[in-house]
Structure 1
Amino acid sequence: MDNELKPWETPTDEQQHKLPVRTAIGLVVGVLLWLGPYLGLVGVLVPQAMARITPDHKAAAIALMSGCAMVVSTIANIIEGALSDRTRSKHGRRTPWIVWGSIGTAITIVFWGMCTTVWQEVLADCVYMIFLNMIVAPLVAVIADRTSPKYRGTISSAYALGNDIGQFGGQVVASFFLPVPKTGFIVMAVLTLFSGPLAALFLKEKSTIDMPVTKVTWKNFSQNFAFPTKNALNFYLALIGKLFIVTATFCISSYQLYILTDYIKLTGSNVQRYVSLISMVMMVCSIICVLFAGPLSDKIGKRKAPVIFASMVIAVGSLLPMFTNSAYIMLAYAVVAALGKGMYDSVDQALNIEVLPDPKTAAKDLGLLNMANNGGQVLGPIFSASIIGIVGYAGIFPIAAITAAIGGILIIFVKGIK
């Protein structure tokens, strides 16, 4: 990289002569170790805890917890991402946030495992989101910080690789602790504790003590700490499209345990076996797509088309379980939906970077885009809880399919990007 490039400046294609491998490894490790525990908790261990605390109202309790967490996560994403953009330290802009966020998140998980009432579960999730977003918003901004346009698809794939291993592997690991949930919470806390420090070790951020930072005034407050307002149409189309696509996936995955027990009618050890099997199938299929889709996106120079196609594949996969409640259909869903999800994840972050209104506020704006992930993880359970109460579990699947398709249609309207 050109010696004149400042640590806080994004390299151009001419300045970055080779793929930033250390950045890729740091992203894989960092994302894997926060997302895996997160989804192991909200997808397996916390639903089990809610079923124990309030068996007759477990779906509504999960929806309440998710709704409160979304509000907290939204605020945390904006503030922590913006502060990260402006952080001057000898360890760089992002490192202090991801390290301290990992420590705070791990401590919160330990206390979360001790909760015995619904309100304690809700409060624990909200505190958890404050610390978790100290990792999430700065870490995703690393792609914009350190990657030139020609490598963004490949580095987005690295992020997606950590994302997909974490998403599905976290639930596999968590499922082993269904008989001993308190131990599972401790294991998730330990894994999260290593997320920020290990990512920082690979990223090796340089000092940003000399980085110029403008003083925040009421006049420029919206630029630094609020939603963008100038040249932001593509940004909002990408954000809302992402929200719909992620919501679709979490309509099903957040209720996977209940789908298997209450819709598929599995009991005993079969539940744990299918949670593990579905997660393993989804992880393998998703990784296969991740390894090829991002680099292919770089080669053909297209971001929109892969994202749109992936959303339609997710829609098709989501629709399958509507037709039968036989156990095998969840495996068919796992294969199709995971292929779409892997393709989507591998190009998503590259598209996000290309719709940013201002590179100077990358962490804040990427944090807002990532808010669609958090929002989808919250809205998915809320949509599902509403549908379950009206038509039963079979209604989840067409809603998920329609939601994914709407997300892809919105991406079509993004202008100026292939």
Structure 2
Amino acid sequence: MTTAPTGSGPSPVNAPAKAARPTRPPGERRLLGGLMANTAVLYAAYGAVPAVLLANLVADVDPDSKSTSLGIISAIGAFGAMLANPIAGALSDRTHGRFGRRAPWMAGGALLGGLSLVAVGAGNNLLWIGVAWTLAQIFLNGLQAPLTAVVPDRTPAHRRGFFSSAVGLAQMVGVTAGTAVAAAFAHALGLGFAVFGVLVIAGTAVFLLLNREPAAAAPAGEAFRWKAFLTGFWVSPRRHPDFAWAFLGRFLLVLGYYCVSAYQLYVLDDYLGLTRDRANDLVPLLSLAMLPGLIVMIVVSGPWSDRVGRRKPFVFAASIGMAVALVLPLALRSEASMFAYAVLAGGAFGMYMAVDTALMTQVLPRPDDAAKDMGVLNIANALPQALAPAVAAGVIGAAGGYRALFVTAIVLVILGAFSILPIRAVR
């Protein structure tokens, strides 16, 4: 595996196509199915580990300071995720050889990430758990960056709403199923980590075998230079304001959502006053409550946005819907309010992920750097998820309770909604 020159090229404006649609490319169904399956197993691990397996493991190892310890471990892992995602994407952009640009990085990230998850489950002290989880974050984000580049790489612009809906559906089904399945391993944590590690490895292997990437030739351009490579991660908000607004909008909404979602076990335990066993029983039920609205909105929203040629109204409405959902458990502290929150949040987040992914593919500065730029944008998705426990711990500790956590989450998602409005290249 070798790296290719940096190259240069024009910055396209990718507006939703409303003209005559070309014939669908051959192998589209196989690509779609493989992409959804691989995404689902990756996000199953993302749903299972922070919210259930890691939270329970930290609570077992350090029950007196579980909130603070989970926040510190998550913050360290977040730093690894922040670096790995765009770096892996940029390296895959410049990789050439008979196995293609993305496949070698996906294979390596899945294998090492899966093994790291197994290592987390074997930990019996905070240092081991923190190091192993950081490695898992690094390698899994090394898989995620080239995986997300498959959509801009291999799908036409007029089909990206459909593909984004499919990928968004896979993400949320993966998170929901992962959370539900993980609850069954609440008393067998080591086995639970191993199961999700194997799933990530197997899901990636199946995708790569069924959707072989063509060999990639080295592009012409300037010779590879480290300075240019490292400075390429900075996307100027002045030169590419749409890219910056898209990044900010997703970062704020995902952070607000996962501040509550990542602490769901502790919310049920400490905020509602339930026992640990009752809280573990409710976690999968709340995940299942999200599914109906989530599936419907993901399936409907992406193709609908393709037909009308608009993305921003969908993203804005979904963000406001998320804020309304978060108000419910703040106003009424009960199991019923948590279920109502789950139902509304599922629909809002489903619409958001379906359409926002399509929007992001249309604000990329350069087609030759698609994986790197998608990797930078993925920071707005992966980093808030990893940072959310640390932010939640800080809010709970500073403000003295979970009500402040819900208020913070509501403010964040509303700010995320208004961050989408200044985007000009996409309607």
TM over 0.5: yes
Residue 382 of structure 2 corresponds to 374
Residue 22 of structure 1 corresponds to 30
Q: Deviations over 1:258-286 (max 9, x none)?
A: 11111112225422321111011113321
CA contact (8 A) 1:95 1:196 kept: no
Residue 5 of structure 1 corresponds to none
Residue 239 of structure 1 corresponds to 247
Residue 360 of structure 2 corresponds to 352
> Which amino acid in the other structure matches residue 23 of structure 2?
H
> Which amino acid in the other structure matches residue 200 of structure 1?
L
Query: For 2:344 and 2:136, how far apart are their aligned partners in 1?
Result: 32
> Which amino acid in the other structure matches residue 316 of structure 1?
V
Residue 228 of structure 1 corresponds to 235
Query: For 1:254 and 1:191, how far apart are their aligned partners in 2?
Result: 21
Q: Return the match for 1:285 from 280, 287, 293.
A: 293
CA contact (8 A) 2:74 2:390 kept: yes
Query: For 1:222 and 1:340, how far apart are their aligned partners in 2?
Result: 36
1:398 pairs with 2:407: yes
Residue 199 of structure 2 corresponds to 191
**Percent identity (aligned):** 33
CA contact (8 A) 2:97 2:216 kept: yes
Range with greater deviation from structure 2 (214-223 or 310-319): 214-223
Query: For 2:190 and 2:221, how far apart are their aligned partners in 1?
Result: 45
CA contact (8 A) 1:86 1:213 kept: no
CA contact (8 A) 2:87 2:375 kept: no
1:306 pairs with 2:306: no
Q: Which consecutive unaligned segments of at least 5 residues does structure 2 have?
A: 1-8
Compared CA separation, residues 231 and 48, structure 1 to 2 (3 A): same
Tell me the secondary structure at the aligned position of residue 194 of structure 1.
helix
Range with greater deviation from structure 2 (378-387 or 130-139): 378-387
Tell me the secondary structure at the aligned position of residue 337 of structure 1.
helix
Residue 410 of structure 1 corresponds to 419
1:261-276 superposed matches below 5 A = 261-267=269-275, 269-276=277-284
> Which amino acid in the other structure matches residue 80 of structure 2?
V
Q: Residue 68 of structure 1: CA displacement?
A: 1.0
CA contact (8 A) 2:363 2:425 kept: no
Q: Residue 211 of structure 1: CA displacement?
A: 4.5
Q: Residue 214 of structure 1: CA displacement?
A: 4.1
Q: Return the match for 1:341 from 344, 349, 360.
A: 349
1:308-323 superposed matches below 5 A = 308-323=316-331
Query: For 2:20 and 2:228, how far apart are their aligned partners in 1?
Result: 32
Query: For 1:331 and 1:350, how far apart are their aligned partners in 2?
Result: 29
> Which amino acid in the other structure matches residue 259 of structure 2?
C
CA contact (8 A) 2:269 2:276 kept: no
CA-atom RMSD in angstroms: 2.1
1:61 pairs with 2:69: yes
Q: Residue 407 of structure 1: CA displacement?
A: 0.4
> Which amino acid in the other structure matches residue 54 of structure 1?
D
Range with greater deviation from structure 2 (21-30 or 34-43): 21-30
Tell me the secondary structure at the aligned position of residue 323 of structure 2.
helix
CA contact (8 A) 1:282 1:334 kept: yes
Q: Return the match for 1:160 from 157, 168, 179.
A: 168
Query: For 1:177 and 1:359, how far apart are their aligned partners in 2?
Result: 43
